């Protein structure tokens, strides 16, 4: 590069060559500065991506139940409101399954809470493997889980609930050399298009499934109970705590 400048200097004269050399140096400096700026911008862009990734991780952590690795109750509540509004707007059904492990206290008392936590995590893994990709699976609290099924009717939710019940009942949970078997009680409820006239609170869907699950608990456990919303035209609007018609799947 220097030889080129000297050659030009000799051709155009010392004074003109000196001026050209100064301008050429300034040009090189501007190129170098431009490259430095571009490199800095690239570094800032990468840092921003990393920062955004960390923020997303923090947001996700806030919605994840750490012992089981699935969504927590906070995330479920947000999605419940979103899916309820969506179902109401488009006239779609919305179903939920409330799941409770039977006699889980006995597991903790017999094998310890560490084993109990491992069992909960494995139960969550089994549930994940059976749920649809569009379903929301969350730990509701303790040994309770909820599956929120958008666009699913009551019978479709019942079918999934029974697959879950049978899978858990036949699953062997291992803790060292110890084999543990557990059962679950499940309550199912669904809101259909016509029900939205009477059901205004999204949490009523979970409450109804929860009540259905307790009916199972009171009638022998290890079963599924379907407790739908049923409203008859012209009849008084029933309160959400009133008894509904219900059915157990297993005699």
Active-site pick, 15, 32, 128, 143: 143
CA distance 174 to 122: 10
Q: Are residues 17 and 119 in the same domain?
A: no
Closest CA to 203 of 45, 87, 77: 77
CATH of the domain at 114: 3.30.70.270
9 Cβ contact partners less than 8 Å away, ≥ 6 residues apart: 16, 17, 18, 20, 21
Q: Are the CB atoms for 197 and 159 separated by under 8 Å?
A: no
- Structural domain includes residue 66: no
- 226, containing H or E segment: strand 224-226
Reading the chain (251 residues) residue by residue, the pLDDT tens digits are 445 444 444 444 445 555 555 555 655 555 556 666 677 777 778 877 877 776 677 667 789 998 999 999 999 999 999 999 999 999 999 999 999 999 999 999 999 999 999 999 999 999 999 999 999 999 999 999 999 999 999 999 999 999 999 999 999 998 888 899 999 999 999 998 888 888 889 999 999 999 999 999 999 999 999 988 876 444 444 333 333 344 555 43
Q: Are the CB atoms for 150 and 86 separated by under 8 Å?
A: yes
Number of domains within the chain: 2
> Known catalytic residue: 143?
yes
- Structural domain includes residue 68: no
pLDDT for residue 125: 96
Q: What is the tally of helices (H) and strands (E) in the chain?
A: 7, 8
Residue-range definition of the domain harbouring residue 183:
73-248
CA distance 190 to 95: 4
């Amino acid at each position: 590069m220097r030889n080129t400048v000297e050659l030009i200097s000799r051709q155009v004269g010392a004074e003109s060559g000196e001026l050209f050399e100064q301008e050429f140096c300034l040009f090189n400096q501007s190129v170098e500065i431009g490259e430095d700026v571009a490199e800095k911008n690239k570094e800032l862009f990468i840092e921003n991506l990393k920062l955004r990734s960390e923020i997303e991780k923090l947001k996700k952590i806030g919605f994840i139940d750490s012992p089981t690795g699935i969504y927590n109750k906070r995330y479920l509540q947000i999605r419940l409101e979103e899916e309820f509004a969506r179902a109401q707007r488009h006239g779609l059904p919305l179903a939920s399954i409330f799941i409770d492990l039977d006699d889980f206290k006995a597991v903790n008392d017999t094998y310890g809470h560490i084993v109990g936590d491992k069992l909960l995590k494995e139960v969550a893994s089994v549930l994940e493997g059976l749920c649809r990709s569009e379903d929301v699976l969350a730990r509701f609290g303790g040994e309770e889980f909820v599956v929120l099924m958008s666009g699913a009717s009551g019978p479709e939710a019942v079918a999934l609930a029974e697959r879950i019940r049978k899978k858990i009942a036949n699953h062997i949970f291992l803790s060292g050399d110890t084999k543990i078997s557990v059962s679950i009680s499940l309550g199912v409820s669904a809101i259909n298009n016509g029900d939205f006239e009477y059901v205004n609170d999204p949490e009523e869907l979970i409450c109804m499934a929860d009540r259905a699950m307790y009916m199972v608990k009171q009638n022998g456990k290890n079963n599924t109970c379907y407790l739908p919303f049923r409203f008859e035209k012209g009849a008084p609007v029933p309160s959400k705590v009133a008894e509904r018609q219900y059915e157990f799947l297993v005699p």
